[in-house]
Structure 1
């Protein structure tokens, strides 16, 4: 049989799609992009824009694969099954659970045998569902999902309702998966999850994320480890001091901010202050000089006044992030923020996002400029279309472009940085 896959959203979704692809291949199926017998769409529901992208994807894939069984997994399938049913384009609505059974479910549906009850696919369990990390063909990096679910219930966020409570991969399983990926030739492992800062709280002896990362760095000393998104509470003196000892830990830290104003943070139920966040950034920079600190920002949250927004702009400039993802607040029905008073008009949210993005772009350029004239190791990944350049990533996560006959996929070479690209760096090979 022929299986197609389409992924929207975050790194967790991408990991889960890669795992499903690996399962399909192990069962003897061919992976394709058109004329599939079954098409599995991994959906996202983090914003209203994500919802619209899901619906457009369903329509496009149904149009291109009119006879295929189409299954929807992921957060949108979990939170909005009625909308999927009403679209008339989805055969199986699977949600965020029992992913290991989705391929078999599609096989049955292709034969005309549809299940009468899909509840288990939309009922997140109490234990972690281990899915083997797929090894992307020709990729230098692989994702390793070690955690699912979230118990924070920030007032704007639908994800805890879609993903359920925190569930962690056992530490020995995570280490074994990392070793398997390293032995398969993967040069960098990105540790990901829905809320990895809560890793281990549900496991016996309650190991921490720090415990896990130390074990991973020790288990695969010749493979780089990069961390996914962190909550500020994760960062303390012990965290920084412990991880600074490992040369294979990438000095790139994504800390979720969302707002630089304490009153807005309180309405968001973010459980920290701007001052606490700034202190964590300083701790990281003390132990990891020149480290890349990136973040997320939501503008136009209900009740955010002009003064509060300006306070946030001042704060992000104080923190000097190397990159930022800026989002206008998106109403998620069913969350507390959706019914808060003082909703901000869309035009104002858009204007605030534009202003924040302008500052973010300048901060990014300022950060990257400090590397001009320096030499750094770059792990090259792919050629740049229409040129003789190759693109890769340095320790600090930014893409670096260079040209040289010695460059090839999965090869690390020293590059002297000579300039900036739109979102990264350019340089020349030093051999």
Structure 2
């Protein structure tokens, strides 16, 4: 059968889609683009904002409208958190965020019987970690390895704990096995992903933490580069940095979740740190690593944010000196405490987003300029704009002259300039 999957949302969703595609291929099915003719269309949904919900509904409606005879199936966070809304849509199979392999079993049954089916569970009742195939799409140089699921932070703007349930971790021994498999398959880098990877190991209650996992994976496959997903700043301690800096394969890019640079706003967000603790993490990373790329996300226009609080956030991000930032105007997520708070006018949110983006771009340009003259081992991935594109360990994009012979090679590259968004380099060695 021909099956098409459309994925919305985060890297965890992307990882789970890749795992489902691998399993479907193993079962003899053909994976085709969502725009092609197929026997079944699957939408792996997101529910992080109301806009995400809307996009999920739109993709399901599109699949049904354009392919009325095909099976239309839905899974993911929107289906998990809003099953009553999904039931009103013209879909054949509904599942949430659990038991991906069971979902594929039902999809195959649906393709045979064409009887509407539903498989939902209570996210908060989950205790086991579903082990899925690791890897990336064919031809990829970088693979994702999901090592954690669930979150118990309950930030006031976020519905994800309700969609994903409590913390569950991939056992260390299994993570080591998967990492060795990815190295043997030819991948050059793995990215640890999860809903909240900083909480890896908490459910084991044996003292294991994320840094123990990192050390084990680097020892198991020293030829692989290891890149971390988003971290809670409380993860970054003196012990974490000391041990992490001793790992030669660890990429010095750290995405520290921030959301706001104002303590009062952080309190309303129900974040578990203040700006002093956050700055401590940034300071530690800069002490133990040579020009690490510290990146972050920032929400502007959060309910109740005053102009003074916004100004505090702008001053704070300049103090941190981020290498790159993602700026988001606050988007209402119905069903969360923040949705009931005093809202900021849209025009104000948009204005603050532009002002924050201008500061973020200035910081990004400063970081890129500081890379000129450096030599990095760059993992080359694909052709782009008549150049070949790759990423340095700090995850800055590097462009060089070259062809397909560079694909999946790690080559020493001297940075000679920047075009404002990427680094321009010259190869220091023959491909």
Does the TM-score normalized on the shorter chain lie above 0.5? yes
Once residues 404 and 265 of structure 2 are traced to their aligned partners in structure 1, the CA distance between those partners, rounded to angstroms, is: 51
Q: Deviations over 1:68-95 (max 9, x none)?
A: 211111111111222222232x221211
Structure-2 residue corresponding to 1:69:
71
Once residues 120 and 2 of structure 1 are traced to their aligned partners in structure 2, the CA distance between those partners, rounded to angstroms, is: 28
DSSP 3-state at the match of 1:314 = helix
Q: Deviations over 1:86-137 (max 9, x none)?
A: 232x221211011111211111111125365523386761111111213421
Structure-2 residue corresponding to 1:394:
392
Structure-2 residue corresponding to 1:226:
227
Once residues 63 and 32 of structure 2 are traced to their aligned partners in structure 1, the CA distance between those partners, rounded to angstroms, is: 12
Structure-1 residue corresponding to 2:95:
94
What is the TM-score when the length of structure 2 is the normalising length? Answer: 0.96
Q: Say if 1:261 and 1:308, in contact at 8 Å, map to a contact too.
A: yes
Structure-2 residue corresponding to 1:252:
253
Q: Deviations over 1:268-303 (max 9, x none)?
A: 111111011011101001111100000011111111
Q: Say if 1:95 and 1:121, in contact at 8 Å, map to a contact too.
A: no
Q: Give the aligned length.
A: 427
Structure-2 residue corresponding to 1:243:
244
Once residues 428 and 118 of structure 2 are traced to their aligned partners in structure 1, the CA distance between those partners, rounded to angstroms, is: 61
Correspondence 1:16-415 to 2 at 5 A: 16-33=16-33, 34-88=36-90, 90-114=91-115, 117-120=118-121, 125-340=126-341, 342-385=342-385, 387=386, 389-404=387-402, 407-415=405-413
Unaligned runs of 5+ in 1: none
Q: Say if 1:225 and 1:248, in contact at 8 Å, map to a contact too.
A: yes
Q: CA deviation at 1:206?
A: 4.0
Q: CA deviation at 1:190?
A: 0.0
Distance 1:64 1:391, change over 3 A: farther
Structure-2 residue corresponding to 1:424:
422
Q: Say if 2:230 and 2:255, in contact at 8 Å, map to a contact too.
A: yes
Q: Which runs of 4+ in 1 moved over 3 A?
A: 113-117, 120-124
Taking only aligned residues, the RMSD between alpha carbons, in angstroms, comes to 1.6
Once residues 417 and 274 of structure 2 are traced to their aligned partners in structure 1, the CA distance between those partners, rounded to angstroms, is: 37
Q: Deviations over 1:347-366 (max 9, x none)?
A: 11111111111111110010
What is the TM-score when the length of structure 1 is the normalising length? Answer: 0.96
Unaligned runs of 5+ in 2: none
Which range moved further: 165-174 or 416-425?
416-425
Q: Say if 2:123 and 2:164, in contact at 8 Å, map to a contact too.
A: no
